[in-house]
Structure 1
């Protein structure tokens, strides 16, 4: 029970901090839709970074598959570094998506509430229509982002497995055993990159629509 209470309080505090942040930003002329645009752009940049990092990890494994003698410890360190950097890149993407969802919730709630302030029925209908279309575009973008996010999981799993296996089997035979994993990893990375490219394109479309709304 104390843990549950602490969890509820922490969530409430975080929510309160976010509300205070949005209010403070509006005081200086930065509105929720401006913050939304910034966060969507940051998420796109994080996805581009993740694409580059996963490609780098694939290149490192490709080099490992061509290993023909040398320092095995250095080979392990290289793969381990790529795995850790890939985890960081994936975590960054996830945190950027969460930030988008937070400001989107606040924006759409505010937009819906402010519809009641209109005295003009025509302007109210127009704003309602824009809210619906913006929400639909947002959901399309968010779904694409989450699909790309989910495709990163098998990449990280394979990189982690390879790293662990190499850590405990620092010999040429172990490197030979990892070659069978390479094709699966290459396929998973290509799928993840393709989905991230789709998400980035959806982000660009959403930003364009939000700026017109």
Structure 2
């Protein structure tokens, strides 16, 4: 997302609280971007952010395995890296959740506008075609949104396990705590794998939806 787009998102969030998103959309229309374009941009950004989040979660789990295999050296340094990985995962998760909300908001506004404009079409045949296209697009979007929400929801149990381990290690930075971590790895690995699988599904759905808009 370029700098202008980032600034516009901040404006959108501010205006959204006031129920004045019309100003935001009007600003973009003057720049040649309509709700359809904004929805596509947000979905593309969601793809990237989910991919980046998945990589951060995978990195954190890899670090956790390194810590579980600790066999001498600077334990505190390894813990510091894991703690940093957790913070990055938490930040990435917040970005993904926020983006999913943005996608839903723009989609709902687009569909409302589409519904309204259909009523302005005088030709019955063209009105039916536009209605059919809207219905198809809406169904496809709901499939995408379910996939995005499922992937987003999978982050929470992983973050909870990461947080538990980071805090436990913080309070017990010794070989016994490391041994306890080793016993938890299988369950954490399962949850991370499920998260990455859901994110892959969401990314695939996003690509399909974007292709359908072209």
How far apart, in 2, do the equivalents of 1:143 and 1:29 lie?
30
Aligned to 2:200: 197
Aligned to 2:126: 123
CA shift, 1:14, in A, is 2.3
Aligned to 2:75: 72
Tell me the SS of whatever aligns to 1:30: coil
Aligned to 2:168: 165
Q: Please point out which of 22, 27, 50 is paired with 1:24.
A: 27
Normalised to the residue count of structure 2, the TM-score between the two structures is: 0.91
Over residues 50-103 of structure 1, what are the superposed CA-to-partner deviations in whole Å (9 max), with x where a residue is unaligned? 111111011101101110012221122111111101001111111111110111
Retained in 1: the 8 A contact 2:35–2:110? yes
CA shift, 1:17, in A, is 4.0
Q: Please point out which of 117, 133, 138 is paired with 1:135.
A: 138
Q: For the structure 1 residues 15 and 138, does the alpha-carbon distance in structure 2 shift closer, same or farther, using more than 3 Å as the test?
A: farther
Aligned to 2:86: 83
How far apart, in 1, do the equivalents of 2:46 and 2:96 lie?
6
Aligned to 1:186: 189
Root mean square deviation, CA, Å: 1.5
Alignment of 1:149-160 (within 5 A): 149-160=152-163
Alignment gaps of 5+ in structure 2: 1-12
CA shift, 1:28, in A, is 2.3
Structure 1 ranges of 4+ moved more than 2 A? 10-18
How far apart, in 2, do the equivalents of 1:19 and 1:101 lie?
16
Q: Please point out which of 108, 111, 130 is paired with 1:108.
A: 111
Retained in 1: the 8 A contact 2:36–2:110? yes
CA shift, 1:166, in A, is 0.2
Normalised to the residue count of structure 1, the TM-score between the two structures is: 0.91
Q: Please point out which of 50, 53, 57 is paired with 2:53.
A: 50
The number of residues matched between the two structures is 202
Over residues 129-178 of structure 1, what are the superposed CA-to-partner deviations in whole Å (9 max), with x where a residue is unaligned? 00000000000000000001111111100100000000000111110111
